[in-house]
């Protein structure tokens, strides 16, 4: 009967009885009360008076309703600060790269070689390096939250709504890592003991907005939404969590049955963050971004330059041919061929979308002037729709590779590709239609 009250899947299957409410928490509380009653008759000691510091704060921070509101407020503040503080630093890096590009270009007499170095290499890689302050400030903030002991409490707070989506707070812990990189998020699912829950977590984790998408958000949101860019970026991160949870519910309903494992974790005491630990955390997370800039993004920038320069620049290039061939599919969304081609290249790595857009425009500017041509062709609701599409569409190649490695099957890779494309298109179309009505 207790197993039935706990909604044990095997017992429900045998008895044919299904309860709408999970009594596992109430049963656990009853057991602890019983244990406490037994201990009180056999163990003597001074009764504890009041709460300690951590318990007093947790009374609010882990509240079933206030805890979620506090979590959303904390994330909103982080994204606002990330955008506001990093903006002057990004402008400074942009200006330095501009001076460097012009200086290097002055020593190169061959037109195509000058274009390759200035627009392809310096412009392509530089377009991503401009957003290094955003990335490091974001990880700095997350490092502070982890060092103080708040992130485990965030997982505890989200456990109940996650359970409604057939996942546990343990899945949310893996998803939290996805704010840094979806690859590490998926690899961390090895700690999930239930195989079905692990597969679902792997399939929905790519919807969590990783740091590679942040440069795209900053560039587009800064261009089209100005002072409201921080709000737009916060909306995208909240949307990523909502889509992740709804996708988990849908996949569980369609393909998997049963209940997720219960989250049991020890909440660490709140502690004063150590500067050395925060710096180490920030560097370890952020250096991955720099390594990609010197490898994947450098190679992709050269390929993008070649495709945008030959056989002729502009609308006669191979890049334009790729975008225009797919343009009919994106007519309802209103995307230009430059935007479409950047999405294709972005499958290699999401940062490449920024390199693509700036290479097609022929110059670099985090302030948005590099997208001036596109700004005259699309409206803000189309720009927001594009950001939503970037958030939700096909995971990058490294993420697809790790999905194959962790699941051992290509069917999950193909499912991830086609499901994410469908979700991205539908949600982006809804955003464009609703945005046009407002």
23 and 75 assigned to the same domain: no
What pLDDT tens digit does each residue of the chain (438 aa) get?
777 676 676 777 777 777 666 677 777 778 888 888 887 777 665 555 555 667 778 888 888 788 889 988 988 888 788 878 888 888 888 888 888 988 988 888 888 888 888 888 888 788 778 888 888 888 898 889 888 888 878 877 877 777 777 776 677 777 877 887 888 889 888 877 778 888 999 999 999 998 889 889 988 888 888 888 889 999 999 999 899 989 988 998 888 765 555 566 667 778 888 899 999 988 988 887 788 777 778 888 888 888 888 888 777 889 999 999 999 999 999 999 989 999 999 998 898 898 888 777 655 454 444 555 677 778 999 999 999 999 999 999 889 999 998 998 999 999 999 999 999 999 999 999 999 887
205 and 240 assigned to the same domain: yes
Alpha-carbon distance values, 386 to 23, 245, 261, 323 (Å): 43, 21, 37, 15
| DSSP secondary structure letters along 298-340 | HHHHHHHHHHHHSSSSGGGSHHHHHHHHHGGGGTTTT--HHHH
14 and 78 assigned to the same domain: no
**CA-to-CA distance for 56 and 304, rounded, in angstroms?**
55
Q: Are 204 and 252 in contact (CB under 8 A)?
A: no
75 and 201 assigned to the same domain: yes
426 and 320 assigned to the same domain: yes
**Domain assignment present for 265:** yes
Q: Which of 150, 160, 127, 2 has the alpha carbon at shortest distance from 74?
A: 150
222 and 135 assigned to the same domain: yes
**Domain assignment present for 52:** no
Kindly report the backbone phi and psi dihedral angles of residue 248, in degrees, each rounded to the nearest multiple of 5, phi listed first.
-60, -40
**CA-to-CA distance for 234 and 146, rounded, in angstroms?**
20
- Phi-psi region for residue 409, left (φ > 0), alpha (ψ -120 to 50) or beta? beta
13 and 106 assigned to the same domain: no
298 and 257 assigned to the same domain: yes
201 and 303 assigned to the same domain: yes
| DSSP secondary structure letters along 238-276 | HHHHHHHHHHHHHHHHHH--S-PPPP--PPPPP-PPPHH
Domain count, the chain: 2
**Domain carrying residue 20:** 2-44
Token pair recorded at residue 155: 């997982």
| DSSP secondary structure letters along 339-392 | HHHHHHHTTT-TTHHHHHHHHHHTS--TTSGGGHHHHTTS-HHHHHHHHHHHHH
**Domain assignment present for 34:** yes
**Domain assignment present for 59:** no
Q: Are 51 and 59 in contact (CB under 8 A)?
A: yes
129 and 259 assigned to the same domain: yes
């Amino acid at each position: 009967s207790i197993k039935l009250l706990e909604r044990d899947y095997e017992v429900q299957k045998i008895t044919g009885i299904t309860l709408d409410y999970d009594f596992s928490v109430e049963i656990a509380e009853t057991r602890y009360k019983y244990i406490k009653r037994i201990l009180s008759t056999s163990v003597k000691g001074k009764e504890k008076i009041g709460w300690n510091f951590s318990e007093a704060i947790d009374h609010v921070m882990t509240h079933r309703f206030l805890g979620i509101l506090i979590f959303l407020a904390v994330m909103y503040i982080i994204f606002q600060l990330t955008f506001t503080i990093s903006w002057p630093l990004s402008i400074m890096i942009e200006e330095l790269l501009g001076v460097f590009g012009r200086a290097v270009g002055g020593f190169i007499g061959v037109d195509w070689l000058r274009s390759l170095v200035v627009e392809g290499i310096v412009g392509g890689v530089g377009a991503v390096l401009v957003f290094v302050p955003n990335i490091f400030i974001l990880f700095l903030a997350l490092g502070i939250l982890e060092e103080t002991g708040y992130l485990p409490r965030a997982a505890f707070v989200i456990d109940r709504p996650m359970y409604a989506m057939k996942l546990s707070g343990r899945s949310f812990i893996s998803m939290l890592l996805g704010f840094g990189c979806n690859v590490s998020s998926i690899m961390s699912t090895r700690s999930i003991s239930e195989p079905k829950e692990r597969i679902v977590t792997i399939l929905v984790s790519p919807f969590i907005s990783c740091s590679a998408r942040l440069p795209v958000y900053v560039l587009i949101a800064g261009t089209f939404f100005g002072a409201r860019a921080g709000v737009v970026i916060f909306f995208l991160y909240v949307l990523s969590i909502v889509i992740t949870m709804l996708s988990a519910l849908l996949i569980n309903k369609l393909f998997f049955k049963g209940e997720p494992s219960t989250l049991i974790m020890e909440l660490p005491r709140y502690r004063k963050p150590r500067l050395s630990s925060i710096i180490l955390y920030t560097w370890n997370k952020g250096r991955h971004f720099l390594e990609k800039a010197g490898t994947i993004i450098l190679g992709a920038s050269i390929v993008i330059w070649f495709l945008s320069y030959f056989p002729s620049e502009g609308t006669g290039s191979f890049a334009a041919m790729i975008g225009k061939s797919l343009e009919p599919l994106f007519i309802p969304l209103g995307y230009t061929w430059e935007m479409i081609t950047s999405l294709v290249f972005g499958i290699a790595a999401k940062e490449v979308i920024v390199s693509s857009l700036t290479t097609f425009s022929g110059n670099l500017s985090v302030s948005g002037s590099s997208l001036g041509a596109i700004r005259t062709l699309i409206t803000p609701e189309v720009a927001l729709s594009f950001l939503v599409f970037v958030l939700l569409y096909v995971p990058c190649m490294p993420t697809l590779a790790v999905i194959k490695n962790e699941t051992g099957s290509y069917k999950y890779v193909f499912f991830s590709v086609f499901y994410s494309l469908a979700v991205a298109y539908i949600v982006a179309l809804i955003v464009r239609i609703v945005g046009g009505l407002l």
